[in-house]
Amino acid sequence: MCGITGWISYDHDLTTQRPTLEAMTATMACRGPDAAGVWLGTHAALGHRRLAVIDIEGGKQPMAVDDDGRTLLVTTYSGEVYNYRELRAELTQLGHTFRTTSDTEVVLHAYLEWGEAFAERLNGMYAFALWDPRTEQLLLIRDRMGIKPLYYHPTPDGVLFGSEPKAILAHPSVRPIVDAEGLAELITFTKTPGHAVYKGMHEVRPGHIVRVGRGGVTIKRYWALEAREHTDDLDTTVAHVRALLDDIVARQLIADVPLCTLLSGGLDSSAITALSARALAEQGSGPVRSFAVDFTGYTENFTPDDLRGTPDGPYAHALAEHVRSDHHDIVLDTAALMDPGHRAAVLAARDLPNGFGDGDTSLYLLFKAVREQSTVALSGESADEVFGGYRWFHDPEAVHADTFPWIAAGLSGRFAGGNTTREALLDPALLSKLDLRGYQDHRYREALGEVPYLDSDTGLQRRMREISYLHLTRFVQILLDRKDRASMAVGLEVRVPFCDHRLVEYVFNTPWSMKTFDGREKSLLRAATRDVLPDLVADRVKSPYPSTQDPRYNEALREELRKLAADRDAPVRPLVDSGALARVTADGASSDIRPGAELVLGMDAWLRTTGTTLEL
Protein backbone atom coordinates (compact mmCIF):
# COMPACT_ATOMS: atom_id res chain seq x y z
CA MET A 1 0.00 0.00 0.00
CA CYS A 2 2.42 2.66 1.21
CA GLY A 3 2.81 6.42 1.17
CA ILE A 4 4.63 8.32 -1.56
CA THR A 5 5.98 11.82 -2.03
CA GLY A 6 8.40 13.72 -4.21
CA TRP A 7 9.78 16.94 -5.63
CA ILE A 8 10.62 17.84 -9.21
CA SER A 9 12.69 21.00 -9.76
CA TYR A 10 14.26 21.87 -13.10
CA ASP A 11 16.09 24.92 -11.75
CA HIS A 12 17.78 23.34 -8.72
CA ASP A 13 20.05 20.45 -7.84
CA LEU A 14 17.91 18.23 -5.62
CA THR A 15 20.77 15.95 -4.63
CA THR A 16 21.45 18.56 -1.94
CA GLN A 17 17.87 18.49 -0.62
CA ARG A 18 17.79 15.20 1.28
CA PRO A 19 16.63 16.77 4.59
CA THR A 20 13.59 18.35 2.95
CA LEU A 21 12.68 15.15 1.12
CA GLU A 22 13.08 13.11 4.28
CA ALA A 23 10.80 15.53 6.14
CA MET A 24 8.14 15.13 3.44
CA THR A 25 8.56 11.35 3.50
CA ALA A 26 8.30 11.22 7.28
CA THR A 27 4.74 12.57 7.12
CA MET A 28 3.80 9.30 5.37
CA ALA A 29 5.16 7.07 8.15
CA CYS A 30 1.69 5.96 9.21
CA ARG A 31 0.96 4.75 5.67
CA GLY A 32 4.20 2.79 5.55
CA PRO A 33 5.38 1.57 8.95
CA ASP A 34 7.69 -1.15 7.60
CA ALA A 35 10.42 0.78 5.76
CA ALA A 36 11.50 4.16 4.41
CA GLY A 37 13.48 5.04 1.30
CA VAL A 38 14.51 8.02 -0.83
CA TRP A 39 15.97 8.43 -4.30
CA LEU A 40 17.78 11.63 -5.27
CA GLY A 41 18.58 12.80 -8.77
CA THR A 42 19.61 16.19 -10.09
CA HIS A 43 16.05 17.30 -10.83
CA ALA A 44 13.97 14.60 -9.11
CA ALA A 45 13.69 13.52 -5.50
CA LEU A 46 11.36 10.65 -4.62
CA GLY A 47 10.37 9.44 -1.16
CA HIS A 48 8.62 6.27 -0.03
CA ARG A 49 7.18 4.76 3.16
CA ARG A 50 6.39 1.07 2.80
CA LEU A 51 3.64 -1.18 4.06
CA ALA A 52 5.00 -4.55 2.95
CA VAL A 53 2.27 -6.78 1.47
CA ILE A 54 3.78 -8.53 -1.57
CA ASP A 55 7.43 -9.69 -1.84
CA ILE A 56 8.39 -8.56 1.63
CA GLU A 57 12.15 -8.61 0.96
CA GLY A 58 12.32 -7.67 -2.71
CA GLY A 59 9.73 -4.92 -2.97
CA LYS A 60 11.67 -2.07 -1.36
CA GLN A 61 11.25 1.41 -2.84
CA PRO A 62 11.84 3.76 -4.52
CA MET A 63 12.57 1.14 -7.16
CA ALA A 64 14.58 1.69 -10.33
CA VAL A 65 15.34 -0.14 -13.56
CA ASP A 66 18.98 0.18 -14.61
CA ASP A 67 20.76 -0.76 -17.81
CA ASP A 68 24.55 -0.92 -17.92
CA GLY A 69 24.82 1.45 -14.98
CA ARG A 70 22.30 3.94 -16.36
CA THR A 71 18.95 4.51 -14.64
CA LEU A 72 16.13 4.09 -17.15
CA LEU A 73 13.18 4.60 -14.84
CA VAL A 74 12.42 5.01 -11.14
CA THR A 75 9.13 4.88 -9.23
CA THR A 76 7.61 5.49 -5.85
CA TYR A 77 4.46 3.43 -5.81
CA SER A 78 1.41 2.91 -3.60
CA GLY A 79 -1.26 0.27 -3.99
CA GLU A 80 -1.71 -3.13 -5.57
CA VAL A 81 -1.98 -4.27 -9.18
CA TYR A 82 -4.07 -7.42 -8.99
CA ASN A 83 -3.22 -8.69 -12.48
CA TYR A 84 0.53 -8.28 -12.05
CA ARG A 85 1.19 -11.99 -12.48
CA GLU A 86 -0.40 -12.06 -15.92
CA LEU A 87 1.44 -8.88 -16.92
CA ARG A 88 4.71 -10.31 -15.65
CA ALA A 89 4.26 -13.45 -17.75
CA GLU A 90 3.48 -11.37 -20.85
CA LEU A 91 6.47 -9.11 -20.28
CA THR A 92 8.75 -12.09 -19.72
CA GLN A 93 7.71 -13.46 -23.11
CA LEU A 94 8.59 -10.05 -24.58
CA GLY A 95 12.14 -10.34 -23.20
CA HIS A 96 11.95 -8.55 -19.86
CA THR A 97 13.77 -10.01 -16.88
CA PHE A 98 12.80 -9.51 -13.25
CA ARG A 99 14.85 -9.55 -10.06
CA THR A 100 11.87 -9.48 -7.62
CA THR A 101 8.38 -10.96 -7.40
CA SER A 102 6.75 -7.60 -6.61
CA ASP A 103 4.01 -5.87 -8.56
CA THR A 104 6.04 -2.65 -8.36
CA GLU A 105 8.72 -4.02 -10.69
CA VAL A 106 6.02 -5.18 -13.11
CA VAL A 107 4.69 -1.61 -13.29
CA LEU A 108 8.17 -0.31 -14.18
CA HIS A 109 8.67 -2.81 -16.98
CA ALA A 110 5.13 -2.33 -18.26
CA TYR A 111 5.86 1.35 -18.78
CA LEU A 112 9.16 0.57 -20.51
CA GLU A 113 7.31 -1.77 -22.88
CA TRP A 114 4.08 0.10 -23.60
CA GLY A 115 4.67 3.71 -22.56
CA GLU A 116 1.78 5.69 -21.07
CA ALA A 117 -0.70 3.23 -22.58
CA PHE A 118 0.39 0.70 -19.96
CA ALA A 119 -2.03 2.28 -17.47
CA GLU A 120 -4.95 0.90 -19.46
CA ARG A 121 -3.65 -2.63 -18.78
CA LEU A 122 -3.59 -2.32 -14.99
CA ASN A 123 -6.28 -3.82 -12.77
CA GLY A 124 -6.02 -2.60 -9.23
CA MET A 125 -5.88 0.29 -6.81
CA TYR A 126 -2.82 2.45 -7.17
CA ALA A 127 -1.28 5.91 -7.10
CA PHE A 128 2.32 6.28 -8.19
CA ALA A 129 4.97 8.47 -9.72
CA LEU A 130 7.31 7.46 -12.56
CA TRP A 131 10.43 9.54 -13.20
CA ASP A 132 12.11 9.01 -16.56
CA PRO A 133 15.68 10.43 -16.41
CA ARG A 134 16.02 10.01 -20.17
CA THR A 135 13.28 12.54 -20.93
CA GLU A 136 13.32 14.28 -17.55
CA GLN A 137 9.56 13.80 -17.28
CA LEU A 138 7.44 12.77 -14.32
CA LEU A 139 4.16 10.89 -14.61
CA LEU A 140 1.64 10.87 -11.75
CA ILE A 141 -0.92 8.09 -12.28
CA ARG A 142 -4.05 7.27 -10.27
CA ASP A 143 -6.36 4.26 -10.51
CA ARG A 144 -9.65 4.45 -12.38
CA MET A 145 -11.97 4.79 -9.38
CA GLY A 146 -9.68 6.91 -7.19
CA ILE A 147 -9.27 4.30 -4.47
CA LYS A 148 -5.78 5.50 -3.60
CA PRO A 149 -5.18 9.24 -3.09
CA LEU A 150 -2.58 11.38 -4.87
CA TYR A 151 -2.08 15.16 -4.66
CA TYR A 152 0.22 17.60 -6.43
CA HIS A 153 1.23 21.25 -6.15
CA PRO A 154 2.78 22.94 -9.22
CA THR A 155 5.77 25.19 -8.51
CA PRO A 156 7.46 27.79 -10.74
CA ASP A 157 10.02 25.18 -11.87
CA GLY A 158 8.34 21.81 -11.32
CA VAL A 159 5.96 20.12 -8.89
CA LEU A 160 5.57 18.70 -5.39
CA PHE A 161 3.42 15.61 -4.84
CA GLY A 162 2.30 13.21 -2.14
CA SER A 163 -0.23 10.58 -1.13
CA GLU A 164 -1.71 13.12 1.27
CA PRO A 165 -1.65 16.93 1.49
CA LYS A 166 0.51 16.77 4.63
CA ALA A 167 3.47 15.53 2.55
CA ILE A 168 3.28 18.60 0.31
CA LEU A 169 2.64 20.94 3.23
CA ALA A 170 5.89 19.70 4.81
CA HIS A 171 7.84 21.49 2.06
CA PRO A 172 9.09 24.88 3.29
CA SER A 173 7.79 26.74 0.24
CA VAL A 174 4.14 25.72 0.79
CA ARG A 175 1.81 27.36 3.27
CA PRO A 176 -1.56 25.83 4.28
CA ILE A 177 -4.06 28.33 2.89
CA VAL A 178 -7.77 27.76 2.25
CA ASP A 179 -9.79 30.33 0.33
CA ALA A 180 -13.58 30.75 0.08
CA GLU A 181 -13.97 28.12 -2.62
CA GLY A 182 -11.85 25.68 -0.65
CA LEU A 183 -13.96 26.23 2.47
CA ALA A 184 -17.16 25.72 0.48
CA GLU A 185 -15.73 22.46 -0.88
CA LEU A 186 -14.85 21.40 2.67
CA ILE A 187 -18.29 22.11 4.14
CA THR A 188 -20.48 20.73 1.35
CA PHE A 189 -20.74 17.08 0.34
CA THR A 190 -19.78 17.51 -3.30
CA LYS A 191 -16.20 16.09 -3.51
CA THR A 192 -15.21 17.75 -6.76
CA PRO A 193 -12.71 15.58 -8.68
CA GLY A 194 -9.31 17.27 -8.76
CA HIS A 195 -10.13 19.69 -5.93
CA ALA A 196 -7.79 19.52 -2.93
CA VAL A 197 -9.28 22.33 -0.75
CA TYR A 198 -5.83 23.81 -0.05
CA LYS A 199 -4.93 26.75 -2.27
CA GLY A 200 -2.52 25.87 -5.09
CA MET A 201 -2.92 22.12 -4.50
CA HIS A 202 -4.73 19.66 -6.74
CA GLU A 203 -5.81 16.04 -6.59
CA VAL A 204 -4.91 13.76 -9.48
CA ARG A 205 -8.31 12.84 -10.87
CA PRO A 206 -9.24 9.15 -10.96
CA GLY A 207 -8.33 7.54 -14.27
CA HIS A 208 -5.93 10.35 -15.16
CA ILE A 209 -2.22 10.85 -15.80
CA VAL A 210 -0.50 14.12 -14.87
CA ARG A 211 2.64 14.68 -16.93
CA VAL A 212 5.28 17.11 -15.63
CA GLY A 213 8.07 18.39 -17.86
CA ARG A 214 10.15 21.48 -18.44
CA GLY A 215 7.22 22.97 -20.32
CA GLY A 216 4.86 22.62 -17.35
CA VAL A 217 2.01 20.34 -16.35
CA THR A 218 -0.35 18.54 -18.73
CA ILE A 219 -3.24 16.22 -17.89
CA LYS A 220 -4.47 13.18 -19.81
CA ARG A 221 -7.45 10.94 -19.12
CA TYR A 222 -6.88 7.24 -19.73
CA TRP A 223 -10.24 5.94 -18.46
CA ALA A 224 -13.78 7.14 -18.01
CA LEU A 225 -17.22 5.62 -17.70
CA GLU A 226 -18.77 5.14 -21.13
CA ALA A 227 -22.35 4.44 -22.19
CA ARG A 228 -22.67 1.08 -23.93
CA GLU A 229 -25.61 -1.04 -25.02
CA HIS A 230 -26.43 -3.83 -22.58
CA THR A 231 -27.47 -6.89 -24.59
CA ASP A 232 -27.46 -9.62 -21.90
CA ASP A 233 -30.76 -10.93 -20.53
CA LEU A 234 -31.41 -11.01 -16.79
CA ASP A 235 -30.13 -14.51 -16.12
CA THR A 236 -26.96 -13.86 -18.12
CA THR A 237 -26.44 -10.55 -16.34
CA VAL A 238 -26.74 -12.12 -12.89
CA ALA A 239 -24.36 -14.92 -13.90
CA HIS A 240 -21.83 -12.45 -15.30
CA VAL A 241 -21.92 -10.33 -12.13
CA ARG A 242 -21.23 -13.47 -10.10
CA ALA A 243 -18.40 -14.58 -12.39
CA LEU A 244 -16.80 -11.14 -12.09
CA LEU A 245 -17.13 -11.17 -8.29
CA ASP A 246 -15.59 -14.64 -8.03
CA ASP A 247 -12.61 -13.52 -10.11
CA ILE A 248 -12.24 -10.18 -8.33
CA VAL A 249 -12.32 -11.66 -4.83
CA ALA A 250 -9.86 -14.42 -5.76
CA ARG A 251 -7.42 -11.83 -7.13
CA GLN A 252 -7.72 -9.60 -4.08
CA LEU A 253 -7.01 -12.44 -1.65
CA ILE A 254 -3.39 -12.51 -2.83
CA ALA A 255 -1.06 -11.30 -0.07
CA ASP A 256 2.09 -12.38 1.73
CA VAL A 257 0.71 -11.12 5.06
CA PRO A 258 -2.35 -11.92 7.25
CA LEU A 259 -5.65 -11.00 5.58
CA CYS A 260 -9.26 -10.56 6.74
CA THR A 261 -12.64 -9.10 5.81
CA LEU A 262 -14.69 -6.26 7.30
CA LEU A 263 -18.15 -7.61 8.13
CA SER A 264 -21.19 -5.51 9.05
CA GLY A 265 -23.86 -8.12 8.36
CA GLY A 266 -25.16 -6.12 5.41
CA LEU A 267 -25.46 -7.57 1.93
CA ASP A 268 -22.24 -6.00 0.63
CA SER A 269 -19.74 -7.03 3.30
CA SER A 270 -21.48 -10.38 3.78
CA ALA A 271 -21.14 -11.17 0.08
CA ILE A 272 -17.42 -10.35 0.13
CA THR A 273 -16.87 -12.39 3.31
CA ALA A 274 -18.81 -15.38 1.98
CA LEU A 275 -17.05 -15.34 -1.39
CA SER A 276 -13.70 -14.99 0.38
CA ALA A 277 -14.51 -17.95 2.61
CA ARG A 278 -15.36 -20.07 -0.43
CA ALA A 279 -12.24 -18.99 -2.36
CA LEU A 280 -9.95 -19.67 0.61
CA ALA A 281 -11.54 -23.08 1.13
CA GLU A 282 -10.92 -23.94 -2.53
CA GLN A 283 -7.28 -22.92 -2.05
CA GLY A 284 -7.04 -25.20 0.98
CA SER A 285 -6.56 -22.28 3.37
CA GLY A 286 -8.81 -20.50 5.79
CA PRO A 287 -11.05 -20.03 7.59
CA VAL A 288 -11.58 -16.42 6.62
CA ARG A 289 -11.06 -14.01 9.49
CA SER A 290 -13.74 -11.30 9.87
CA PHE A 291 -14.13 -8.18 12.02
CA ALA A 292 -17.14 -6.03 12.92
CA VAL A 293 -17.51 -2.79 14.85
CA ASP A 294 -20.05 -2.50 17.67
CA PHE A 295 -20.82 -0.16 20.55
CA THR A 296 -21.37 -0.98 24.20
CA GLY A 297 -25.07 -1.80 24.68
CA TYR A 298 -25.88 -0.91 21.06
CA THR A 299 -27.76 -4.08 20.09
CA GLU A 300 -29.58 -4.41 23.42
CA ASN A 301 -30.78 -0.79 23.43
CA PHE A 302 -31.07 -0.17 19.68
CA THR A 303 -33.73 2.32 18.57
CA PRO A 304 -34.64 2.35 14.84
CA ASP A 305 -34.40 5.71 13.07
CA ASP A 306 -34.95 6.95 9.53
CA LEU A 307 -31.49 5.75 8.45
CA ARG A 308 -31.01 2.51 10.36
CA GLY A 309 -33.76 -0.01 11.00
CA THR A 310 -31.70 -2.80 12.53
CA PRO A 311 -28.45 -3.20 14.47
CA ASP A 312 -25.58 -4.94 12.70
CA GLY A 313 -24.56 -7.43 15.38
CA PRO A 314 -27.12 -10.24 14.88
CA TYR A 315 -26.66 -10.22 11.11
CA ALA A 316 -22.86 -10.18 11.26
CA HIS A 317 -22.96 -13.12 13.65
CA ALA A 318 -25.40 -15.00 11.42
CA LEU A 319 -23.12 -14.63 8.41
CA ALA A 320 -20.01 -15.51 10.42
CA GLU A 321 -21.70 -18.69 11.65
CA HIS A 322 -22.94 -19.50 8.13
CA VAL A 323 -19.46 -19.37 6.57
CA ARG A 324 -17.67 -20.46 9.76
CA SER A 325 -15.41 -17.44 9.82
CA ASP A 326 -12.97 -16.65 12.60
CA HIS A 327 -15.03 -13.66 13.72
CA HIS A 328 -14.17 -10.82 16.11
CA ASP A 329 -16.37 -7.96 17.38
CA ILE A 330 -14.56 -4.71 18.14
CA VAL A 331 -16.74 -3.10 20.85
CA LEU A 332 -16.29 0.63 21.50
CA ASP A 333 -17.65 2.93 24.19
CA THR A 334 -18.34 6.66 24.32
CA ALA A 335 -15.13 7.34 26.22
CA ALA A 336 -13.11 5.91 23.32
CA LEU A 337 -15.09 7.93 20.78
CA MET A 338 -14.54 11.19 22.68
CA ASP A 339 -10.93 10.51 23.64
CA PRO A 340 -8.94 13.61 22.57
CA GLY A 341 -6.05 11.48 21.37
CA HIS A 342 -8.27 9.40 19.11
CA ARG A 343 -10.00 12.44 17.65
CA ALA A 344 -6.65 14.13 17.07
CA ALA A 345 -5.37 11.03 15.28
CA VAL A 346 -8.41 11.05 12.99
CA LEU A 347 -7.94 14.73 12.13
CA ALA A 348 -4.25 14.19 11.47
CA ALA A 349 -5.11 11.28 9.19
CA ARG A 350 -7.70 13.21 7.20
CA ASP A 351 -5.85 16.55 6.95
CA LEU A 352 -9.24 18.29 6.92
CA PRO A 353 -12.24 18.45 9.30
CA ASN A 354 -14.76 17.27 6.71
CA GLY A 355 -15.53 13.90 8.20
CA PHE A 356 -18.33 11.86 9.70
CA GLY A 357 -17.91 12.64 13.37
CA ASP A 358 -18.07 9.56 15.58
CA GLY A 359 -18.27 7.46 12.41
CA ASP A 360 -14.71 8.48 11.57
CA THR A 361 -13.43 7.84 15.08
CA SER A 362 -15.08 4.43 15.32
CA LEU A 363 -13.72 3.45 11.89
CA TYR A 364 -10.22 4.47 12.95
CA LEU A 365 -10.51 2.47 16.18
CA LEU A 366 -11.89 -0.54 14.30
CA PHE A 367 -8.95 -0.46 11.90
CA LYS A 368 -6.50 0.00 14.74
CA ALA A 369 -7.81 -3.17 16.38
CA VAL A 370 -7.88 -5.09 13.09
CA ARG A 371 -4.27 -4.13 12.39
CA GLU A 372 -3.17 -6.01 15.51
CA GLN A 373 -4.11 -9.25 13.74
CA SER A 374 -4.16 -8.50 9.98
CA THR A 375 -2.35 -6.30 7.49
CA VAL A 376 -4.89 -6.49 4.64
CA ALA A 377 -8.71 -6.31 4.82
CA LEU A 378 -11.36 -6.72 2.12
CA SER A 379 -14.31 -4.33 2.39
CA GLY A 380 -17.82 -4.12 0.95
CA GLU A 381 -17.40 -0.39 0.29
CA SER A 382 -18.87 1.03 -2.95
CA ALA A 383 -21.51 -1.64 -3.63
CA ASP A 384 -24.24 0.92 -2.95
CA GLU A 385 -22.85 3.26 -5.59
CA VAL A 386 -22.39 0.46 -8.13
CA PHE A 387 -25.68 -1.42 -7.62
CA GLY A 388 -27.99 1.37 -6.43
CA GLY A 389 -28.29 0.62 -2.74
CA TYR A 390 -28.95 3.93 -1.03
CA ARG A 391 -32.52 4.78 -0.13
CA TRP A 392 -32.49 7.94 -2.20
CA PHE A 393 -31.92 5.88 -5.35
CA HIS A 394 -35.49 4.71 -4.77
CA ASP A 395 -37.03 7.97 -3.55
CA PRO A 396 -38.70 9.77 -6.49
CA GLU A 397 -38.40 13.15 -4.77
CA ALA A 398 -34.62 12.78 -4.30
CA VAL A 399 -34.13 11.22 -7.74
CA HIS A 400 -35.85 14.06 -9.58
CA ALA A 401 -34.52 16.89 -7.42
CA ASP A 402 -32.37 19.35 -9.33
CA THR A 403 -29.28 18.70 -7.22
CA PHE A 404 -27.13 15.87 -5.91
CA PRO A 405 -29.62 13.24 -4.66
CA TRP A 406 -27.85 12.71 -1.33
CA ILE A 407 -28.18 16.41 -0.64
CA ALA A 408 -31.85 16.37 -1.66
CA ALA A 409 -32.35 13.49 0.77
CA GLY A 410 -30.89 15.62 3.57
CA LEU A 411 -27.93 13.35 4.16
CA SER A 412 -25.37 16.15 4.26
CA GLY A 413 -26.73 17.07 7.68
CA ARG A 414 -27.50 13.59 8.91
CA PHE A 415 -24.38 11.46 8.53
CA ALA A 416 -24.29 11.11 12.31
CA GLY A 417 -28.00 10.48 12.73
CA GLY A 418 -29.12 14.03 13.60
CA ASN A 419 -31.54 16.29 11.76
CA THR A 420 -29.67 19.59 11.94
CA THR A 421 -27.35 20.73 9.17
CA ARG A 422 -23.59 20.78 9.32
CA GLU A 423 -23.57 24.55 8.87
CA ALA A 424 -26.11 25.18 11.69
CA LEU A 425 -23.51 26.77 14.00
CA LEU A 426 -21.69 28.82 11.38
CA ASP A 427 -21.98 32.61 11.08
CA PRO A 428 -24.78 33.66 8.64
CA ALA A 429 -22.52 36.31 7.10
CA LEU A 430 -19.90 33.62 6.38
CA LEU A 431 -22.52 31.34 4.85
CA SER A 432 -23.78 34.18 2.67
CA LYS A 433 -20.25 34.85 1.45
CA LEU A 434 -19.58 31.16 0.74
CA ASP A 435 -22.96 30.68 -1.02
CA LEU A 436 -22.96 26.95 -0.36
CA ARG A 437 -26.14 26.34 -2.34
CA GLY A 438 -24.71 28.17 -5.33
CA TYR A 439 -21.47 26.20 -5.02
CA GLN A 440 -23.35 22.91 -4.87
CA ASP A 441 -25.43 23.87 -7.87
CA HIS A 442 -22.34 24.77 -9.90
CA ARG A 443 -20.65 21.48 -9.09
CA TYR A 444 -23.84 19.53 -9.77
CA ARG A 445 -24.25 21.00 -13.26
CA GLU A 446 -20.55 20.50 -13.91
CA ALA A 447 -20.99 16.79 -13.09
CA LEU A 448 -24.12 16.44 -15.22
CA GLY A 449 -22.20 17.84 -18.17
CA GLU A 450 -19.87 14.82 -18.04
CA VAL A 451 -22.54 12.09 -18.11
CA PRO A 452 -22.38 9.79 -21.17
CA TYR A 453 -25.71 8.75 -22.71
CA LEU A 454 -27.11 6.36 -25.27
CA ASP A 455 -29.72 7.53 -27.78
CA SER A 456 -32.07 5.05 -26.14
CA ASP A 457 -31.69 6.67 -22.71
CA THR A 458 -35.01 8.37 -22.04
CA GLY A 459 -37.22 9.06 -19.05
CA LEU A 460 -36.30 7.23 -15.87
CA GLN A 461 -33.48 5.25 -17.51
CA ARG A 462 -31.74 8.49 -18.52
CA ARG A 463 -32.14 10.01 -15.06
CA MET A 464 -30.91 6.87 -13.32
CA ARG A 465 -27.82 6.83 -15.54
CA GLU A 466 -27.17 10.36 -14.27
CA ILE A 467 -27.77 9.32 -10.65
CA SER A 468 -25.40 6.38 -11.05
CA TYR A 469 -22.72 8.57 -12.63
CA LEU A 470 -22.97 11.15 -9.84
CA HIS A 471 -22.43 8.45 -7.24
CA LEU A 472 -19.59 6.69 -9.06
CA THR A 473 -17.63 9.90 -9.68
CA ARG A 474 -18.55 12.11 -6.70
CA PHE A 475 -20.18 10.43 -3.71
CA VAL A 476 -18.00 7.33 -3.74
CA GLN A 477 -14.93 9.56 -3.52
CA ILE A 478 -16.05 10.83 -0.12
CA LEU A 479 -16.25 7.29 1.24
CA LEU A 480 -13.11 5.95 -0.46
CA ASP A 481 -11.05 8.84 0.90
CA ARG A 482 -12.49 8.30 4.38
CA LYS A 483 -11.68 4.59 4.35
CA ASP A 484 -8.19 5.08 2.93
CA ARG A 485 -7.21 7.72 5.48
CA ALA A 486 -8.62 5.85 8.49
CA SER A 487 -7.01 2.56 7.47
CA MET A 488 -3.64 3.92 6.41
CA ALA A 489 -3.41 5.93 9.64
CA VAL A 490 -2.75 2.58 11.32
CA GLY A 491 -0.92 0.86 8.44
CA LEU A 492 -3.85 -1.31 7.31
CA GLU A 493 -4.45 -1.94 3.62
CA VAL A 494 -8.16 -2.03 2.78
CA ARG A 495 -9.15 -3.47 -0.58
CA VAL A 496 -12.49 -2.68 -2.23
CA PRO A 497 -13.56 -5.45 -4.65
CA PHE A 498 -16.70 -3.63 -5.76
CA CYS A 499 -14.49 -0.90 -7.29
CA ASP A 500 -13.00 -3.27 -9.88
CA HIS A 501 -13.46 -1.29 -13.10
CA ARG A 502 -14.77 -4.28 -15.02
CA LEU A 503 -17.67 -4.67 -12.60
CA VAL A 504 -18.29 -0.92 -12.46
CA GLU A 505 -18.43 -0.63 -16.26
CA TYR A 506 -20.74 -3.62 -16.64
CA VAL A 507 -23.25 -2.63 -13.98
CA PHE A 508 -23.19 1.05 -14.98
CA ASN A 509 -24.55 0.02 -18.36
CA THR A 510 -27.13 -2.43 -17.02
CA PRO A 511 -30.65 -0.93 -17.33
CA TRP A 512 -32.17 0.42 -14.13
CA SER A 513 -35.16 -1.91 -14.55
CA MET A 514 -32.77 -4.85 -14.35
CA LYS A 515 -30.93 -3.42 -11.32
CA THR A 516 -34.26 -3.35 -9.47
CA PHE A 517 -35.92 -6.40 -11.04
CA ASP A 518 -37.14 -7.76 -7.68
CA GLY A 519 -38.52 -4.40 -6.57
CA ARG A 520 -35.68 -3.80 -4.12
CA GLU A 521 -32.28 -2.16 -3.84
CA LYS A 522 -29.21 -4.00 -5.19
CA SER A 523 -31.26 -6.68 -6.92
CA LEU A 524 -28.38 -7.90 -9.08
CA LEU A 525 -25.95 -8.28 -6.19
CA ARG A 526 -28.53 -10.12 -4.07
CA ALA A 527 -29.36 -12.52 -6.89
CA ALA A 528 -25.70 -13.10 -7.74
CA THR A 529 -24.69 -14.02 -4.19
CA ARG A 530 -27.82 -15.42 -2.55
CA ASP A 531 -26.51 -18.99 -2.76
CA VAL A 532 -23.65 -18.19 -0.36
CA LEU A 533 -25.70 -16.17 2.13
CA PRO A 534 -28.27 -17.07 4.80
CA ASP A 535 -31.73 -15.71 3.94
CA LEU A 536 -31.68 -13.49 7.03
CA VAL A 537 -28.71 -11.58 5.59
CA ALA A 538 -29.69 -11.73 1.92
CA ASP A 539 -33.09 -10.20 2.68
CA ARG A 540 -31.87 -7.55 5.12
CA VAL A 541 -32.84 -3.96 4.31
CA LYS A 542 -29.92 -1.60 3.72
CA SER A 543 -28.52 -0.10 6.95
CA PRO A 544 -25.64 2.43 6.82
CA TYR A 545 -22.43 2.24 8.83
CA PRO A 546 -23.47 2.34 12.51
CA SER A 547 -23.36 5.39 14.74
CA THR A 548 -23.48 5.34 18.51
CA GLN A 549 -26.87 5.98 20.09
CA ASP A 550 -25.45 6.61 23.55
CA PRO A 551 -26.94 9.96 24.74
CA ARG A 552 -23.73 10.60 26.64
CA TYR A 553 -22.00 11.20 23.30
CA ASN A 554 -24.25 14.19 22.56
CA GLU A 555 -23.68 15.54 26.04
CA ALA A 556 -19.93 15.19 25.62
CA LEU A 557 -20.18 17.22 22.40
CA ARG A 558 -22.23 19.85 24.19
CA GLU A 559 -19.61 20.14 26.92
CA GLU A 560 -16.91 20.60 24.28
CA LEU A 561 -19.00 23.38 22.72
CA ARG A 562 -19.34 25.07 26.11
CA LYS A 563 -15.56 25.14 26.43
CA LEU A 564 -15.36 26.59 22.93
CA ALA A 565 -17.92 29.26 23.79
CA ALA A 566 -15.84 30.27 26.80
CA ASP A 567 -12.63 30.57 24.76
CA ARG A 568 -12.69 33.92 23.03
CA ASP A 569 -9.36 33.16 21.38
CA ALA A 570 -10.51 29.91 19.77
CA PRO A 571 -9.48 30.13 16.10
CA VAL A 572 -12.88 28.99 14.86
CA ARG A 573 -14.83 31.64 16.82
CA PRO A 574 -14.88 34.22 13.96
CA LEU A 575 -16.65 31.60 11.85
CA VAL A 576 -19.30 30.70 14.44
CA ASP A 577 -22.77 32.13 15.06
CA SER A 578 -22.53 33.14 18.73
CA GLY A 579 -26.29 33.11 19.15
CA ALA A 580 -26.64 29.60 17.77
CA LEU A 581 -23.75 28.45 19.94
CA ALA A 582 -25.44 29.87 23.02
CA ARG A 583 -28.75 28.21 22.19
CA VAL A 584 -27.33 24.69 21.70
CA THR A 585 -25.21 24.89 24.87
CA ALA A 586 -27.97 26.22 27.12
CA ASP A 587 -29.34 23.98 29.84
CA GLY A 588 -32.26 21.94 28.54
CA ALA A 589 -31.36 22.53 24.88
CA SER A 590 -32.21 19.92 22.27
CA SER A 591 -29.77 17.02 22.18
CA ASP A 592 -29.72 16.92 18.37
CA ILE A 593 -26.46 18.78 17.74
CA ARG A 594 -24.11 16.27 16.13
CA PRO A 595 -23.50 17.46 12.55
CA GLY A 596 -23.01 21.12 13.43
CA ALA A 597 -21.08 20.43 16.62
CA GLU A 598 -18.71 17.95 15.03
CA LEU A 599 -17.95 20.28 12.12
CA VAL A 600 -17.23 23.30 14.33
CA LEU A 601 -15.16 21.33 16.84
CA GLY A 602 -13.25 19.68 14.01
CA MET A 603 -12.56 23.01 12.32
CA ASP A 604 -11.29 24.49 15.59
CA ALA A 605 -8.87 21.61 16.14
CA TRP A 606 -7.77 21.81 12.49
CA LEU A 607 -7.01 25.53 12.66
CA ARG A 608 -5.20 25.10 15.98
CA THR A 609 -2.96 22.23 14.92
CA THR A 610 -2.16 22.92 11.26
CA GLY A 611 -1.64 26.67 11.23
CA THR A 612 -3.99 26.93 8.26
CA THR A 613 -4.78 30.45 7.10
CA LEU A 614 -8.28 31.23 5.82
CA GLU A 615 -8.31 33.75 2.99
CA LEU A 616 -11.99 34.59 2.76
Q: Are strands 259-262 and 376-378 parallel, antiparallel or unpaired?
A: parallel
d(CA 457, CA 581): 49
Dihedral sign, Cα of residue 592, residue 542, residue 312, residue 474: negative
Catalytic residue status for 30: no
Helices (H), 43-98: 84-93
328 dihedral zone (left: phi>0; alpha: psi -120 to 50; beta): beta
d(CA 614, CA 543): 37
265 dihedral zone (left: phi>0; alpha: psi -120 to 50; beta): left
- CA proximity to 10, closest of 116, 108, 138: 138
Contact 504, 469 (CB under 8 A): no
Q: What SS3 class is residue 556?
A: helix
d(CA 33, CA 51): 6
Residue 605's H or E segment, with its range, is: helix 594-610
Q: What is the largest CA-CA distance in the chain?
A: 77
Dihedral sign, Cα of residue 459, residue 463, residue 464, residue 466: positive
Question: CA 328, 414, 225: angle at the middle one, nearest 5?
Answer: 80
Question: What are the backbone dihedrals phi and psi of residue 294, each rounded to the nearest 5 degrees, phi first?
Answer: -150, 165
- CA proximity to 197, closest of 481, 476, 574, 499: 481
- Active-site residue among 2, 30, 260, 499? 2
Q: What is the DSSP string of 517-537?
A: TTSSTTHHHHHHHGGGS-HHH
Please count the other Cβ atoms lying within 10 Å of the Cβ belonging to residue 164.
26
d(CA 117, CA 125): 17
Q: Which residues are catalytic?
A: 2
